[in-house]
């Protein structure tokens, strides 16, 4: 249905709200990449089937938008990621008066859920989230979720990610309606500026200032570009927004376009996110059909077209100028600035380029005003930030917390502490462009400026928790191998420097390091950091430099004692047989591919470590646990 | 406009487009490997990095000058980092300086020495790649490539050919043609501009020096040289002679000393070209086409048209280039057994141009099925020969070139610069002979640095519209316009190299704006001092037309295009 | 020589995006999707059609990891080696796969053209690390054993 005036869209919204309220029970099946991987598609289909076949249920569910069907009583919906993919497939039963959150739902459970929780008011106890013997009923009871403040992820998990109607009913498009009918473009820019929101893509540049600069350009053709490249390996918040709440992202981009008078927008989506592309395409098609994208939106003079570009597998394309080069059909090589993107961005026209999460915050800022936004977070970094919590932690997942929340709160209160009661060693923040923070930084408030002081960055929000089983040198090597592989090769410091740094790190973990290597690493690292052309190179040495600073002893151990205390580095491990446990069965010797094990049957066996290739075969085959690894 | 502080001293700037230029104007030669004012700024080598008063480092080639800037060009930090960058480049480089053709003229080598890189601590782990010697003009050695992209930008932006590109990424990156094809299998026009821009030995001139030495050593061979106009204003650069000064006399002496039997001046042939081309032009005007007439003396341009703009082949002048005309005339001359005196004649053409090496082999410019120009060497190779021989070049006394092909008019010399062909043709067409008439032509707009010059000359009651272009990319744009009917000309002169042959692909490298201006000045100066200005007044030429050439003009002086 | 049908398909794909230099990447992506690799001839053809120099088209195609001039297997397995997966031991999963299929870090595709194994950094399902993707389907919480089972399953499927 065409919504070409304020009245029309408000009327449709009323209808949608009623439709939402009319349903007695909503079965919300998480359909983020994570839950789909654990099989939530099948759960969704099962529920659909069951709901249709079960007598006593009055259904008229609408998987996609349809405004003319009759009201439903029970509906089955696909939502975006709820942030706890580990517990998937997730199913939420939403009734007027209560919400039940089920985890790890299997096909076999669907019938029971339907009968007991949908038709009756019972709870399937065994599917609830449990921790330390305690079961949690609703999602908001789960500490992991309860302790968060969700703005960008507001709708993720609550509404149908593919339904424009539900987005409308949830208050969606309120901001663009407000902007178009009640605000001038300048006022929109002003509100964003006053809110103090800083870019969530890593740089932390104030979005309002960027928009102002674009609005000021003499050139009238302008673009709005959304950076959905999300390259940080181990971070998936932008993907969750794109697949879980595509309309919010688009509304944010529309607000930007209105604010700076841009006519066209592009969303650049990372290659590995096919679902994000599908959901965004669907959203754009719905909106075009409803006249919410295209010419004369909602009957005003505002016109805006939106396009999608898929990445093709290059991390560096997350960098602004590389991204626009890629949209233009070029190699994604960053270029020198000036000119800056705000002056000459896409096709050399003034361009607003922001991150997914940045855009996703804008509608709420416009709706609730900059003061409301400033009330969240810290003075210099207002608002919330999403983080992707992974590594050696009890609860991995996607979280959104106010800026300024401390690491301690995130890791221990929300994340439930270090996995399996391990000891906290460090946390890598900001992905391959970031650094590590340790025990002594646990109470540092996480905001753009504070973290920087300690040689790390908030970055896009990757948080990898590391315990005593993590080798810091190997972690540094891992990140360096990533950036080295992803270097575009344009500038010498990054192309040649990261390569040499990686070679040195590989040497050290292989037990062939020399003590001079530490100085070489530092020298190269400082040089690359200062001299590289773009952010990739400038930040590539950070993981090395920060581990060198915090864990120098581990480097020295690797080099001088040929020892890896975390027992991670293959080459530094030695396979040994404990004569006390060895029964002399000879099974190990039989399994050793290189004949490193010799011995006398029924007595004991011995491993010649100079021959051993550390394949683990002996250890796997010893029935008496007599083989151990010495670090 | 503004003032900045460089290394503690106040420096004024006006409209410099980047901090680098301000620094250089202030007398500090900051190292660069990827900056050329004539192509886009790439910012990849990072050697031009400077530090500001806040300890921020930035590449000076890609930063706009701002009033009040405070920068340090040689702070401890940037000095150390610059050196490390060069060390890293060398570490991934085939460092065979002693046998490298570029040694002594190589920017990388020079920087290593200047910055005091005395130790390379990292092993070269780059995969070794084969050398591409498929082209008659240039040789690509990827093992010496430092990936500065200068050649890529020159070929794409100046020449519009885009034969080379970056491929793959990171440390796997290689500069090469699509699918690693041989350069000879691409649309490369052999202009050699990539080689001029390349700071290392990764792209070099295909050398034919050894063949020349062999010929010189052969008693049964008469070795004849022809020297192009642009050569004489560039050779001196290598021997401490004032930039741009014509050293034709010294070259002639030097060549004689090395054993050349005859040394002729290509200017003579340029005069022939003017005669032939003017006649062809008038004929086409009378017959009504095909117009515009496109000049044919630049082989790179001709290859571009025959490769990629086939629809314009009929427009290309059938005239051979001066090199081709000279060789054909000389060979014809020595076909007379009396003149040949039992010796085989080998024509060595000394050119500012790498494309001429290709032109010499182009079969449509052969006479009687035989290649007229046997060996083409470039200015750079000539310099190497002089050094190899050990001649004290600057002390050589000038000698005049040999007769009967040793004398050209001032108009012929002008072929060395963009607009020169047109200017010489106009001299031929305009009946007046006095100085005012010549000055009028000179001031008609043919001269000057602009890439595209348009002029309208009244001739016999009509307005002759002429376009003078240098740089193939610019020529491509003009041809697009002509094709679209947006522009109409009678004559289009194209020189593939910016500013014409004085900046040809075989000329000495490291020629900045000053050298460029000096070379152009040298050409115009040679015209100024010439006694005869107009090609049609060249007495040697006229007598040759009456004798040797009579009735053979078409056979000797024109090409066939298919 | 490619069959004429390839060029017809390419024309159709070009039609989706229009003859402009900016269409290069999406066109190549669709060709790659269609044939699971990018035939060099088609790259040259597309370049000519949309007015891009061949060297430029080649330089773009080789820049991005997703384009391959070599044919890929029926099942393209991308093992995630992103941070989350790496710290939860994705390396043994990759090794097990390579070993099972007789592949190496240099040889990516099995001779029977059934499997191609690559690595990728993050599939966006980090909570379920380590992960891998078979064509477009993500498989969670992998172990070397599960990976080998998966291969056997796929082998059976393709029979
Ligand atoms: C190597 C590199 C990779 C980047 N990757 C991303 C990315 O994946 N997503 C993103 O939003 N920003 C990324 N950025 C930051 C962008 O350059 C840019 O600052 C950001 O998209 C601007 O949006 P914001 O101001 O809203 O953060 C990257 C930067 C660099 C240097
Ligand atoms: S820093 Fe690295 S990624 Fe950035 S331009 Fe230089 S080489 Fe490319
Ligand atoms: S398998 Fe275990 S018990 Fe048997 S010989 Fe080996 S170490 Fe001893
Ligand atoms: S680890 Fe492998 S190589 Fe080493 S002793 Fe055991 S079986 Fe042999
Ligand atoms: S290119 Fe330069 S540095 Fe390299 S070998 Fe030749 S002269 Fe030496
Ligand atoms: S400069 Fe050094 S390396 Fe080169 S030839 Fe002389 S001694 Fe040998
Ligand atoms: S010789 Fe000219 S056309 Fe050929 S690659 Fe070099 S610059 Fe390009
Ligand atoms: S060939 Fe020469 S100019 Fe071209 S990138 Fe390599 S070093 Fe630079
Ligand atoms: S302009 Fe002169 S030097 Fe350049 S390619 Fe043409 S003929 Fe050769
Ligand atoms: S996808 Fe379901 S919780 Fe993340
Ligand atoms: S000259 Fe400035 S970066 Fe190369
Ligand atoms: S790191 Fe493997 S899915 Fe994100």
Asked if residue C123 has pLDDT above 80, the reply is yes
Q: Is the CB of B202 under 6 A from ligand 8?
A: yes
Q: What is the pLDDT of residue B433?
A: 76
Rounded to an integer, the average pLDDT of A311-326 is: 97
Split at pLDDT 50, 70, 90, the class of B447 is very high
Start-to-end CA span in chain B (Å): 56
Nearest to A419 by CA among A443, A383, A442, A390: A390
Split at pLDDT 50, 70, 90, the class of A263 is very high
Rounded to an integer, the average pLDDT of A434-446 is: 94
Q: What is the pLDDT of residue A630?
A: 81
Asked if residue A68 has pLDDT above 80, the reply is no
Structure tokens at B12: 């004024």
- Number of A/B CB contacts below 8 angstroms equals 92
Asked if residue A313 has pLDDT above 80, the reply is yes
How far apart are the C-alpha atoms of B413 and B246, rounded to whole Å?
11
Per residue in B356-405, pLDDT (tens digit) is 999 999 999 899 999 999 999 999 999 999 999 999 999 999 999 999 99
Contact by Cβ (8 Å): A213, A222: no
Asked if residue A64 has pLDDT above 70, the reply is no
A59 contacts: CB under 8 Å, gap ≥ 6 = A51, A52, A72, A73, A74, A75
- Between A350 and A420, name the one with better pLDDT: A350
Q: Which chains touch A (3 or more CB pairs under 8 A)?
A: B, C
How far apart are the C-alpha atoms of A26 and C31, rounded to whole Å?
41
Residue among B46, B63, B149 whose CB faces A531 most closely: B46
Nearest to A47 by CA among A104, A103, A93, A81: A93
The average confidence (pLDDT) of chain A is 93
> Looking at ligand 6, which residue's alpha carbon is closest to its atom 1?
B98
Would the CB atoms of A235 and C122 count as touching at under 8 Å?
yes
Nearest to A30 by CA among A84, A113, A89: A89
The count of other CB atoms within 10 Å of the CB of residue B24 is 17
> Looking at ligand 4, which residue's alpha carbon is closest to its atom 8?
A592
Residue A428: which H helix or E strand, with range?
A: strand A424-429
Structure tokens at B224: 């004849």
Q: Distances in Å between the alpha carbon of A230 and those of A248, A252, A275, A445?
A: 17, 18, 14, 24
Instruction: Give the mutation candidate from A38, A82, A240, A272 for the C interface (greatest C CB count, under 10 A).
Output: A272
Residues of chain A numbered 290-319 and touching chain B (CB < 8 Å): 314
Q: What is the pLDDT of residue A67?
A: 43
Would the CB atoms of B179 and C62 count as touching at under 8 Å?
no
The average confidence (pLDDT) of chain C is 94
Contacts of A492 in chain B (CB under 8 A): 44-46, 85, 88-89, 146-147
Beta strand pairing call for B49-52 and B57-59:
antiparallel
Q: What is the pLDDT of residue A70?
A: 41
B168 contacts: CB under 8 Å, gap ≥ 6 = A489, B174, C62, C63
Distance of CA A478 to the CA centre of its chain: 19
Residue A10 sits at the vertex; the CA angle it makes with A9 and A14, to the nearest 5 degrees, is 115
Contact by Cβ (8 Å): A328, A341: no
- By the CB < 8 Å criterion, does B157 face chain C? no
Q: What is the pLDDT of residue A58?
A: 65
Rounded to an integer, the average pLDDT of B455-469 is: 92
Asked if residue B210 has pLDDT above 90, the reply is yes
Place of tokens 């077209």: A305
Q: What is the pLDDT of residue B139?
A: 98
Per residue in C67-93, pLDDT (tens digit) is 999 999 999 999 999 988 998 889 889
Q: What is the pLDDT of residue A198?
A: 97
The average confidence (pLDDT) of chain B is 96
Asked if residue C12 has pLDDT above 60, the reply is yes
Q: What is the pLDDT of residue A60?
A: 52
DSSP per-residue string spanning B178-217: GGG--GGGSS-----HHHHH-SSTTEEEPP-HHHHHHHHH
Q: What is the pLDDT of residue A594?
A: 85
Q: What is the pLDDT of residue C105?
A: 84
Instruction: Give the least confident one: A197-201, A362-366, B459-463.
Output: B459-463
Q: What is the pLDDT of residue A317?
A: 97
Asked if residue B134 has pLDDT above 60, the reply is yes
> Looking at ligand 1, which residue's alpha carbon is closest to its atom 9?
A230
Contact by Cβ (8 Å): B4, B22: yes
Rounded to an integer, the average pLDDT of B127-137 is: 97
How far apart are the C-alpha atoms of A259 and B152, rounded to whole Å?
40
Q: Is the CB of B98 under 6 A from ligand 6?
A: yes
Per residue in A442-489, pLDDT (tens digit) is 999 999 999 999 888 888 889 999 999 899 999 999 999 999 999 999
Residue among C28, C122, C125 whose CB faces A85 most closely: C125
- By the CB < 8 Å criterion, does B239 face chain A? no
Split at pLDDT 50, 70, 90, the class of A252 is very high
Rounded to an integer, the average pLDDT of B211-220 is: 98
Q: What is the pLDDT of residue A72?
A: 45
Contacts of A499 in chain B (CB under 8 A): 170-171
Bridge partners (DSSP) of residue B166 are: B175
Cα-based torsion angle of the residue sequence C144, C145, C148, C153 in order, rounded to the nearest 10 degrees: -140
How far apart are the C-alpha atoms of A84 and A87, rounded to whole Å?
6
Question: Domain segments of chain B: what residues?
Answer: 2-74, 89-205, 210-557
The count of other CB atoms within 10 Å of the CB of residue A38 is 26
Single pTM value for the model: 0.94
CATH superfamily, region C75-155: Glutaredoxin (3.40.30.10)
- For residue A193, the 8-state DSSP code is H
Instruction: Write down the H helix ranges in B97-192.
Output: 107-114, 150-153
Residue percentage of chain B with pLDDT more than 90: 95
> Looking at ligand 4, which residue's alpha carbon is closest to its atom 6?
A618
How far apart are the C-alpha atoms of A139 and C64, rounded to whole Å?
41
Contacts of B125 in chain A (CB under 8 A): 503
B483 contacts: CB under 8 Å, gap ≥ 6 = B311
Contact by Cβ (8 Å): A73, A24: yes
Rounded to an integer, the average pLDDT of A478-507 is: 97
- By the CB < 8 Å criterion, does A10 face chain B? no
- By the CB < 8 Å criterion, does A38 face chain C? yes
Split at pLDDT 50, 70, 90, the class of A62 is very low
Which residue ranges does chain C devote to CATH 3.40.30.10?
75-155
Residues of chain A numbered 330-359 and touching chain B (CB < 8 Å): 331, 333, 335-338
Distance of CA B232 to the CA centre of its chain: 13
Same fold? B2-74, B210-557: no
Chain A, nearest residue to C87 by Cα: A391
Per residue in B285-304, pLDDT (tens digit) is 999 889 999 999 999 999 99
Asked if residue B485 has pLDDT above 90, the reply is yes
Q: Distances in Å between the alpha carbon of C9 and those of B141, B215, C2, C32, C54?
A: 39, 58, 12, 12, 20
Contact by Cβ (8 Å): B459, B429: yes
> Looking at ligand 6, which residue's alpha carbon is closest to its atom 5?
B98
* Beta strand residue intervals within A311-396, DSSP E: 351-355, 384-391
Q: Does domain B210-557 have CATH number 3.90.1200.10?
A: no
Contacts of C132 in chain A (CB under 8 A): none
B363 contacts: CB under 8 Å, gap ≥ 6 = none
Bridge partners (DSSP) of residue B12 are: B3
Q: Distances in Å between the alpha carbon of B366 and those of B215, B320, B369, B481?
A: 21, 10, 5, 33
Would the CB atoms of A388 and C24 count as touching at under 8 Å?
no
Rounded to the nearest angstrom, the distance between the alpha carbon of B475 and the centre of ligand 11 is 29
Contact by Cβ (8 Å): A468, A422: yes
Residue percentage of chain C with pLDDT more than 90: 82
Q: Which CATH number fits domain B89-205: 3.30.450.190, 3.30.70.20, 3.40.50.2000, 3.90.180.10?
A: 3.30.70.20
Annotation: CATH topology of B2-74: Ubiquitin-like (UB roll) (3.10.20)
Asked if residue A63 has pLDDT above 70, the reply is no
At A398, give phi and psi (nearest 5°): -105, 125
How far apart are the C-alpha atoms of C14 and C31, rounded to whole Å?
10
Provide Rg for chain B, Cα atoms: 24
Split at pLDDT 50, 70, 90, the class of A71 is very low
The count of other CB atoms within 10 Å of the CB of residue B182 is 15
Would the CB atoms of A34 and C67 count as touching at under 8 Å?
no
Residues of chain A numbered 569-608 and touching chain C (CB < 8 Å): none
Q: What is the pLDDT of residue A283?
A: 98
> Looking at ligand 2, which residue's alpha carbon is closest to its atom 4?
A534
Place of tokens 């699509």: B178
Provide Rg for chain C, Cα atoms: 18
């Amino acid at each position: 249905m065409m919504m070409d005036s304020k009245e029309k869209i408000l009327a449709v919204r009323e209808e949608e709200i009623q439709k939402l309220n009319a349903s007695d029970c909503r079965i919300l099946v998480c359909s983020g990449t994570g839950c789909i991987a654990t099989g939530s598609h099948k759960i969704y289909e099962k529920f659909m089937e069951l709901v249709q076949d079960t007598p006593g249920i009055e259904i008229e569910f609408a998987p996609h938008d349809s405004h003319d069907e009759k009201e439903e009583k029970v509906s089955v919906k696909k939502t975006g990621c709820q942030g706890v993919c580990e517990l998937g497939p997730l199913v939420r039963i939403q009734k007027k008066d209560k919400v039940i959150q089920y985890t790890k739902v299997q096909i076999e459970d669907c019938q029971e859920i339907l009968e007991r929780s949908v038709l009756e008011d019972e709870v399937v106890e065994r599917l609830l989230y449990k921790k330390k013997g305690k079961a949690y009923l609703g999602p908001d009871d789960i500490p992991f979720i309860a302790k968060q403040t969700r703005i960008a992820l507001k709708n993720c998990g609550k509404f149908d990610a593919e339904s424009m109607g539900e987005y409308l009913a949830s208050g969606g498009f309120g901001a663009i309606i407000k902007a178009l009918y009640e605000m001038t473009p300048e006022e929109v820019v002003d509100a964003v500026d006053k809110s103090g929101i800083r870019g969530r893509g890593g740089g932390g540049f104030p979005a309002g200032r960027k928009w102002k600069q674009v609005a000021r350009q003499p050139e009238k053709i302008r673009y709005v570009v959304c950076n959905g490249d999300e390259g940080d390996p181990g971070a998936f918040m932008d993907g969750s927004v794109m697949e879980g709440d595509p309309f919010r992202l688009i509304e944010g981009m529309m607000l930007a376009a209105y604010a700076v008078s841009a006519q066209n927008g592009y969303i650049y989506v990372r290659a590995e996110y096919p679902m994000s592309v599908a959901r965004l395409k669907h959203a754009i098609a719905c909106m075009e059909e409803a006249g919410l994208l295209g010419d004369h939106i909602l009957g005003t003079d505002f016109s805006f077209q939106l396009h999608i570009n898929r990445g093709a597998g290059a991390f560096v394309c997350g960098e602004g100028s590389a991204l626009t080069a890629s949209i233009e059909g070029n190699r994604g090589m960053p270029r020198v600035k000036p000119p800056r993107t705000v002056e000459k961005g896409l096709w050399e026209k003034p361009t607003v380029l922001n991150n997914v999460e940045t855009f996703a915050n804008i509608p709420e800022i416009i709706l609730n005003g900059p003061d409301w936004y400033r009330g969240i977070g810290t003075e210099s970094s207002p608002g919330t930030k999403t983080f992707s919590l992974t590594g050696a932690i009890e609860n991995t997942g996607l979280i959104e917390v106010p800026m300024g929340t401390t690491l301690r709160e995130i890791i221990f209160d929300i994340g439930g502490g270090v996995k399996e009661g391990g000891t906290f060693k460090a946390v890598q923040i900001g992905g391959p462009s970031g650094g590590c923070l340790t025990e002594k930084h646990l109470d540092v408030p996480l905001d753009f400026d504070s973290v920087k002081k300690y040689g790390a960055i908030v970055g896009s929000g990757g948080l990898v928790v590391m315990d005593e089983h993590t080798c810091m040198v190997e972690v540094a090597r891992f990140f360096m191998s990533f950036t080295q592989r992803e270097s575009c090769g344009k500038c010498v410091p990054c192309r040649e420097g990261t390569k040499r740094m990686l070679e040195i790190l590989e040497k050290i973990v292989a037990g062939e390091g020399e003590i001079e290597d530490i100085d070489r690493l530092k020298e190269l690292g400082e040089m690359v950091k200062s001299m590289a052309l773009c952010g990739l190179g400038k930040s590539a040495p950070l993981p090395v430099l920060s581990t060198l600073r915090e864990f120098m002893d581990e480097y020295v151990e690797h080099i001088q004692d040929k020892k890896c205390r975390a027992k991670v580095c293959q080459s530094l491990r030695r396979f040994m047989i404990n004569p006390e446990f060895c029964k002399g069965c000879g099974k190990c010797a039989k399994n050793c591919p290189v004949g490193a094990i010799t011995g006398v049957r029924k007595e004991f066996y011995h491993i010649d470590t100079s021959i051993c290739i550390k394949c683990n075969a002996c250890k796997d085959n010893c029935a008496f646990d007599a083989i151990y690894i010495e670090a | 406009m503004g003032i900045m502080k460089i290394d503690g001293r106040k420096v004024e700037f006006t409209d410099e487009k980047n901090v680098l230029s301000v620094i250089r104007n202030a007398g500090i030669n900051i190292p660069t490997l990827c900056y050329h004012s004539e192509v886009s700024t790439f910012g990849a080598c990072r050697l031009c990095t400077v530090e500001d008063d806040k300890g921020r480092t930035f590449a000076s080639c890609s930063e706009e000058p701002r009033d009040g800037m405070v920068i340090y060009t040689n702070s401890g930090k940037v000095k150390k980092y610059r050196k490390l960058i060069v060390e890293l480049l060398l570490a991934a480089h085939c460092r065979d300086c002693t046998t490298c053709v570029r040694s002594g003229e190589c920017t990388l080598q020079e920087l290593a020495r200047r910055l005091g890189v005395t130790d390379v601590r990292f092993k070269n782990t780059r995969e070794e790649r084969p050398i591409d010697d498929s082209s008659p003009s240039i040789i690509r050695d990827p093992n010496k490539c430092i990936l500065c992209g200068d050649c890529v930008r020159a070929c794409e932006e100046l020449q519009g050919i885009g034969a080379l590109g970056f491929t793959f990424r990171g440390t796997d990156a290689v500069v090469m043609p699509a699918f690693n094809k041989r350069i000879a299998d691409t649309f490369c026009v052999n202009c050699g501009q990539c080689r001029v821009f390349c700071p290392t030995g990764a792209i070099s001139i295909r050398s034919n020096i050894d063949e020349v030495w062999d010929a010189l050593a052969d008693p049964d061979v008469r070795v004849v040289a022809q020297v192009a106009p642009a050569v004489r204003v560039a050779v001196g650069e290598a021997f401490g002679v004032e930039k741009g000064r014509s050293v034709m006399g010294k070259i002639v002496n030097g060549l004689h000393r090395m054993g050349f039997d005859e040394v002729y001046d290509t200017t003579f042939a340029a005069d022939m070209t003017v005669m032939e081309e003017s006649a062809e032009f008038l004929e086409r005007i009378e017959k009504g086409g095909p117009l515009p007439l496109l000049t044919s003396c630049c082989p790179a341009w001709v290859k571009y048209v025959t490769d990629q703009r086939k629809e314009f082949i009929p427009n290309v002048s059938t005239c051979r280039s001066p090199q081709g005309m000279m060789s054909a005339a000389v060979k014809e001359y020595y076909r007379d057994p009396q003149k040949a005196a039992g010796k085989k004649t080998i024509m060595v053409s000394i050119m500012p141009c790498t494309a001429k090496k290709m032109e010499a082999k182009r079969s449509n410019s052969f006479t009687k099925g035989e290649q007229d120009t046997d060996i083409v060497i470039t200015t750079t190779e000539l310099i190497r020969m002089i050094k190899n021989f050990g001649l004290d070049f600057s002390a050589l006394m000038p000698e005049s070139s040999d007769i009967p092909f040793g004398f050209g008019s001032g108009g012929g010399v002008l072929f060395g610069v963009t607009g020169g062909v047109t200017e010489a043709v106009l001299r031929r067409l305009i009946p007046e002979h006095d100085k005012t008439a010549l000055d009028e032509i000179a001031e008609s707009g043919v001269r000057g640095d602009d890439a595209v010059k348009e002029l309208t000359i009244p001739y016999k009651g009509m307005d002759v519209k002429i376009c003078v272009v240098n740089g193939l990319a610019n020529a491509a744009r003009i041809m697009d316009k002509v094709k679209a009917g947006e522009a109409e000309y009678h004559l289009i002169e194209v020189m593939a190299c910016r500013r014409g042959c004085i900046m040809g692909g075989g000329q000495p490298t490291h020629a900045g704006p000053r050298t460029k201006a000096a070379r152009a000045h040298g050409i115009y100066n040679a015209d100024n001092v010439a006694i005869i200005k107009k090609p049609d007044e060249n007495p040697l030429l006229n007598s040759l037309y009456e004798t040797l050439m009579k009735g053979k003009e078409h056979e000797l002086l024109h090409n066939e295009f298919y | 020589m490619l069959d004429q049908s390839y060029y017809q398909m390419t024309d159709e794909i070009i039609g989706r995006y229009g003859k402009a230099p900016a269409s290069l990447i999406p066109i190549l992506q669709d060709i790659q999707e269609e044939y699971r690799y990018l035939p060099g001839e088609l790259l040259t053809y597309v370049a000519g059609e949309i007015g891009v120099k061949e060297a430029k088209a080649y330089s773009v195609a080789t820049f991005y990891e997703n384009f391959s001039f070599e044919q890929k297997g029926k099942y393209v397995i991308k093992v995630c080696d992103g941070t989350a997966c790496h710290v939860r031991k994705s390396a043994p999963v990759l090794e097990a796969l390579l070993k099972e299929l007789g592949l190496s870090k240099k040889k990516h595709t099995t001779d029977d053209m059934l499997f191609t194994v690559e690595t990728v950094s993050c599939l966006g399902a980090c909570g379920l690390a380590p992960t891998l993707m078979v064509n477009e389907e993500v498989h969670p919480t992998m172990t070397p054993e599960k990976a080998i089972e998966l291969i056997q399953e796929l082998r059976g499927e393709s029979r």
